[in-house]
Structure 1
Amino acid sequence: LNAPNGTVHGELVRQFKVDSQPEGCVADDQRQRLFLGEEDVGVWAVDARADQSATLSSVIKVGPQLQADVEGLALYQSAAHDY
């Protein structure tokens, strides 16, 4: 996105999809990654830079640590660690 003269313009630079229901997403600006929840599957990550591959990589799958029906995602950042 860019906003010359106060008018916002966007350009589609790449696409990606999941096999089922996508849910919440969150961008990690510091690490330039986008995290995407897939409802009954888990959480995926993709490089957020427009000139990089749109290949999704699995972060965590639904199981003992993550219950199905993945919805909203958020980042927690502290002085010691980021989650």
Structure 2
Amino acid sequence: MNRVALRWGYLYLVVLLLVSGLGLMAQKERMQLQDYRNRYAQLERDRAALLRDYQARLSNRAVARWAESQGMVPMSEGRWAE
């Protein structure tokens, strides 16, 4: 009976070590996933800021202001000047 109990004890120890190793791997992957999510969120914020900047610089009003500052006149005013 002593040998049987010892074998079950070893089996329990091996299973415990396997489950512990699996848990450590799962925690590591979870931390990496959290890092990826944080990086993705930062990239989304950067993308939104770049899109706002792009739209501010290339909107119709921004282009019209730039054109007027360069001395260009709108087409409707140009037709009447002829």
> Which TM-score applies when normalising by structure 2?
0.13
Q: Which has the higher strand share?
A: 1
User: Greater CA radius of gyration, 1 or 2?
Assistant: 2
> Which TM-score applies when normalising by structure 1?
0.13
